[in-house]
Amino acid sequence: MDLQLICDRRFSNLSVEEWNKGENLKVTLLAFQVFASALPSSQQAGILEITSVEIGVVAVKAINSNYYLAMNKKGKLYGSKEFNNDCKLKERIEENGYNTYASFNWQHNGRQMYVALNGKGAPRRGQKTRRKNTSAHFLPMVVHS
């Protein structure tokens, strides 16, 4: 069973039915870049697999490229071919039902660094992210393959 992360940046008013038509924003991890793109639902490029590493900690892996989503100590997102400590993300289900993903190992000035996308779909540096920012809210969905 695969899960897909959906960014709640600009399309928060779309329903599940509209999502199934491929009109939502999907996070895609290809090689060393994490970016958002509008892809038809039939394309598999945006599918990410979320695996539990330990309680409350997950690893996010792109199905097509086999790269793991990782965050370095400066808060920069990158793709890692091998699973390492930078790939460990704390998963939290927020009050609004969306999930946030923070670096397990790194903090900036005592604050968590979150996976987030800006309005253009580019990754935001973890140092500039906060848990309450909607750009850091993702909705995992089951993808039937």
Q: What DSSP designation does 123 have?
A: B
The per-residue pLDDT for 123 is 80
List residues bridging with 99 in a β-sheet: 93, 138
Give the type of residue at 102: A
pTM of the model: 0.68
The per-residue pLDDT for 83 is 95
Distance CA 99, CA 13 (A): 17
What the block records as the tokens of 22 is 């491929």
Are 78 and 34 in contact by the 8 Å Cβ rule? The answer is yes
**What is the rounded average pLDDT for all residues in the chain?**
72
Closest alpha carbon to 14 in 94, 36, 141, 22: 22
Give the domains, in start order, of the chain with CATH numbers: 2-143 (2.80.10.50)
pLDDT in tens, 46-56: 678 888 999 99
What the block records as the tokens of 1 is 């069973």
- Residue given tokens 């660094």 in the structure block: 113
Which residues of the chain fall short of a pLDDT of 50? 1-4, 6-39, 41-42
pLDDT in tens, 86-116: 999 999 988 888 898 999 998 888 888 998 8
The per-residue pLDDT for 145 is 57
The per-residue pLDDT for 108 is 87
